[in-house]
Structure 1
Amino acid sequence: MTQAILIVDDDPAQRRILEEVVNRDGYRAIPVESGEAALAYLEGPSGADISLVVLDLVMPGIDGMEVLKRVHPAKPNLPVIVLTAHGGIETVVNVMREGASDFVVKPVSPERLHVSMRNALKVNALTGEISRLQKRQRGQLTFADIIAPSQAMDPVIRLGKRAAQSNIPILIEGESGVGKELIAAAIQGEGERAGKPFVTVNCGAIPENLVESILFGHEKGAFTGASDKHAGKFQEASGGTLFLDEIGELPLDIQVKLLRALQEGEVDPVGSKKPVKVDIRLISATNRDMLQMVKEGRFREDLYYRLNVFPIHIPAIRQRKDDIPDLVAHFIRRLAAEEGKEVVGISNEALGMLCAYDWPGNVRQIENTVFRAIVLCDGETLQVSDFPQIASMV
């Protein structure tokens, strides 16, 4: 989905020039003729689609400075490039103080505006990604940070928000790569444990002989190689959330100890003479049919029902293809900025091809595919030829 740029200028001729520059650069220009119209658009339902504002400073009625003063507090992450016929120091200082990303002196040079738009969008993409990463690190990610506009994801978001209001054990089900950890992080970020530790454990990636030590900790000298005391993931997560991914991979003997830890609210570190109290909110995830594993004796029935109190199923991408355009646009902005590439969008033909593909690897595969395409791309728009692996399968 091409990024939309709002052009605000009362001069019709100037608007046409700016519109041509914006469209030629591969963006979608949305021209308006006044500050009042700009505020109405930004505050309306389509305002969230705007990635950048090109704003004339001097206009009758509500001028550019007033627009900037009202927009920046409400949308602090929206970059604004101010156009001014007077490039004096005082003017520049004032607009930058009010939150402008850059200023361009009239008459507008297409090359100067081109550079300014690219820089503002790149910085904004990286800033947004850094903000998401920081919020995730601080345990403050919310559902508003998740790209999931399709109706198929509505039940997931609704259940996740409801679950966030309690400490009920949650089992998130879904194929690999659908974003189970992201949903778990958002549940914590919208609950009373926001800002507390969010500790992730991939149960399928731990060597079997180390599972107990990693989960519950160990004392110094408890076994060969235990040269120091180790707290374990349960103690690390105490006060916050413990996310056990691929929980179906846990060995049966560890399942018994996990059940006891959940029932008693305490863990027994390897080699310790007394248990340690822990206060965790448990969220588990699996890409397996857990009920079938219970029937086959590969997963304890009592533990399954202890974990599966509040199930949330995340549909695969092939079942929510309306999410693909937004996900692709997000990955293009972020990865192009990270790689220093001039890619700003994707052709309709290429996007149609991506939407037609079933994506067995889900969101993770989309991200990796867009990353490869950006590396291959020599222009400003991703084309079908930049996705050779997908093109050969659709």
Structure 2
Amino acid sequence: MTRVLIVDDDPVQLRLTAEVANRAGFKPLTATGGLQALTILRDDHNIGAVILDLVMPDLDGMAVMEAMAREGLKHPVIIQTAHASLETVVTAMRQGAADYFVKPVSPERLIVSLRNAMKLDALEAVVRAERSRRTGTFTPADMIARAPAMARVLTLCAKAAKSTIPVLIEGETGAGKELIARIIQGTGDRAGKPFITVNCGAIPPNLVESVLFGHKKGAFTGAHADQAGKFAEAHNGTLFLDEVGELPLDTQVKLLRALQEGEIEPVGATRPERVNVRLISATNRRLLNLAKSGEFREDLYYRLNVFPIYVPPLRERKEDIAELVAHFTARFSAEAGKRVIGVSPAALALLQSYDWPGNIRQLENSVYRAIVLSDGAFLETVDFPQIVAQLGGREEAVRALDTITVPAAPTHIDNATARLRPMPEAIPAQDRFLDPSGEISALADIERAAIVFAIEHHGGRMSKVARALKIGRSTLYRKLHEYGLAEALESDAA
């Protein structure tokens, strides 16, 4: 996430900081006060970092950080102020600030601080998700699933977590079925208990029964000791059977008995053993079609398909691609020791236009490859040649590579030219003397707007407002009543 929110009541400092962030490749958003900043943070969850001024008229920086902590807005905050003291620095850091500097700050210092804050935030999210996965407390907050297509999936997960009902998760390969299973376990009564995963398609047919149910010493050649199966390992926890449609038919019979009776019989055992297991199954093929063709037992299908959940493929939830790319970028850049902090808008548009037949797993591998080969701070379109080739053909991929500037001969330092920087698009601001239709505003409307601005600028201190407007206080209060502003001020004061 390369969007940066810059909060400062000084318009000059605000413009300078935004320009530094823009030239460094970030997309700056600006706010002139704490209340406006909180509104933006609540509405925009793709902001990567916040540069926050401490002293502001409506809501100071400390109050903004306190509100962010209360509302769970976990964006990294970089504090800037014109007046520094040790007590202020300590307080800001205790509130969770990632960095702190005194204005004016050099552009290099600001850029380094931004990159470190974004990388730290992304890595902390990766670590939190991995810790939750390992401890069996994985929740929807640890999964990137903000797209509308995932809303029903998460709702069904919450309902399934309230009981031990068998769940069948269907979806294409790489769509995230195991994470859905972990959410069901992590938000239910078995959170923190064992979560055992079995890929049924990766076990040789002659070993499936032993792997699932275990075996006793001497049950077959090579059985030198008792071996507990996956059902026994998942006792009091959750057993996740991935690609359950690949189970052999003879093993399906024993699985059906284990589900119905709550008992397993290890290979070579003389009597069954009781187990308490929550079963969650997953498949990338329709079990109903397999049951109709005789490849899967129909009675087992109905036993597993008590509570079905369908996970949509990545092409139906492209709203999550930007956050997924940011997640993978932070993880793999740390693993590979690279300084990649994000993806360029053109590259992100390329990734969002692709259908991803391999779903999230394919996206993950593509980002990993791009980071290993990239030398810049941001991933560009040329870092994804395979995606370019599949979308536009081999010729388009070759043209994309040809756009990389490679000097034909060495260039002496005296002859080197400055690198061209893209100029930010200027958003035309509406003239303050024009109404929304483009006509000249009435004089009363202009005067009212000036009074409102002066009150906000001086924090409601009427004596300063009157002096700034060059009018008496009695005249100011008369105009407040005339324009209907007095009641609003009284309610704020109350």
2-side partners of 1:5 and 1:188: how far apart?
Answer: 36
SS for the counterpart of 2:100 is: strand
Larger Rg: 2
Residues 27 and 344, structure 1, Cα contact 8 Å, conserved in 2: no
TM-score by structure 1 length?
0.92
- 2:129 is aligned to 132
Q: CA deviation at 1:73?
A: 4.4
Superposed counterparts of 1:144-223, under 5 Å:
144-223=141-220
Contact 2:232 2:275 in 1 (8 A): yes
| 1:121 corresponding residue in structure 2 | 118
Q: 1:103 to 1:332 in 2, by over 3 A?
A: same
More deviation in 295-304 or 242-251? 295-304
SS of 1:29's equivalent? strand
Query: d(CA) in 2 for partners of 1:204 and 1:216?
Result: 16
Query: Residues of 2 paired with 1:90 and 1:84: CA distance?
Result: 13
Aligned to 2:462: none
**Alignment of 1:360 onto 2:367:** no
In structure 2, the CA distance between the partners of 1:63 and 1:323, relative to structure 1 (3 Å rule), is: closer
Give the SS at the match of 1:393: helix
Matched residue SS, 2:6: strand
Amino acid at match of 1:28: K
Residue 205 of structure 1, CA deviation: 0.9
Partner in structure 2 of residue 25 of structure 1:
24
Q: Which has the higher contact order (CA 8 A, sep 6+)?
A: 1
**CA distance in 1 between partners of 2:349 and 2:51 (Å):** 30
Q: What is the alpha-carbon distance in structure 2 between the residues aligned to residue 113 and residue 378 of structure 1?
A: 21
- What's the CA shift for 1:169? 0.9
Instruction: Give, in angstroms, the shift of residue 381 of structure 1.
Output: 2.5
Cα distance in 2, alignment partners of residues 257 and 183 from structure 1: 26
* Alignment CA distance shift 1:181-1:39 (3 Å): same
Aligned: 1:10 with 2:9: yes
Q: Is the 8 A contact 2:119 2:341 kept in 1?
A: no
Which deviates the most, 188-197 or 342-351? 342-351
Q: Distance in 1 between matches of 2:316 and 2:89?
A: 50
- TM-fit CA distance, 1:133: 0.9
- Could you tell me how far 1:88 is from its partner in structure 2? 4.0
Which stretch of structure 1 is more off in the superposition, 223-232 or 266-275? Answer: 223-232
1:304 aligned onto 2:304: no
- In the alignment, the residues of structure 2 paired with residue 264 and residue 137 of structure 1 have an alpha-carbon distance, to the nearest angstrom, of 30
Structure 1 range deviating more: 251-260 or 82-91 = 82-91
In 2, are the aligned partners of 1:343 and 1:380 still within 8 Å (CA)?
A: yes
Counterpart amino acid of 1:366?
A: L
Which amino acid is 2:342 matched to?
Answer: G
| Stretch moving more, 217-226 or 93-102 | 217-226
In structure 2, the residue matched to 1:94 is 91
| 1:264-305: CA deviation from partner (whole Å, max 9, x where unpaired) | 111112232322211111110111232232223221111111
Q: Do the aligned residues in 2 keep the contact of 1:32 with 1:38 (CA within 8 Å)?
A: yes
Q: Distance in 2 between the 1:338 and 1:354 partners? A: 22
Give 1:41's aligned residue: 40
What is the identity percentage for the equivalent residue pairs of Structure 1 and Structure 2?
59
Aligned to 1:56: 53
Question: What CA distance in whole angstroms lies between the structure 2 residues aligned with 1:220 and 1:231?
Answer: 11
Please list every run of 5 or more consecutive structure 1 residues that lacks an aligned counterpart in the other structure: none
For residue 285 of structure 1, what is the aligned residue in structure 2? 282
- Give the structure 2 partner of residue 339 of structure 1: 336
SS in 1 for 2:361: helix
Q: Distance in 2 between matches of 1:212 and 1:54?
A: 58
When structure 1 is superposed on structure 2, of 48-57 and 244-253 the one drifting more is 48-57
C-alpha distance 241-31 of structure 1, shift in aligned 2 (>3 A)? same
Counterpart-to-counterpart distance in 1, 2:195 and 2:322:
30
Whether contact under 8 Å (1:143, 1:186) holds in the other structure is: yes
Does the CA-based 8 Å contact 1:26-1:345 persist in structure 2?
A: no
Could you tell me which residue of structure 2 aligns to residue 224 of structure 1? 221
Q: Is the 8 A contact 2:122 2:326 kept in 1?
A: no
Report how far residue 20 of structure 1 moved.
1.3
Q: Which moves more between the two structures, 72-81 or 275-284?
A: 72-81
The answer to whether the 8 Å contact 2:129/2:143 transfers is: no
Further displaced range: 348-357 or 101-110: 348-357
Alpha-carbon distance between aligned partners in 2 of 1:310 and 1:231, rounded to the nearest angstrom:
29
User: Normalization by structure 2: what TM-score?
Assistant: 0.75
Distance 1:171 1:133 in 2: 24
- Give 1:386 shift: 0.8
Distance (Å, rounded) in 2 between the aligned partners of 1:276 and 1:76? 49
TM-superposed deviation, 1:207: 2.0
State the secondary structure of the residue aligned to 1:392: helix
Conserved? CA contact 1:123–1:337, under 8 Å: no
Residue by residue over 1:375-394, the C-alpha shift from the partner in whole angstroms, topping out at 9 and shown as x without a partner, is: 22222222221111111110
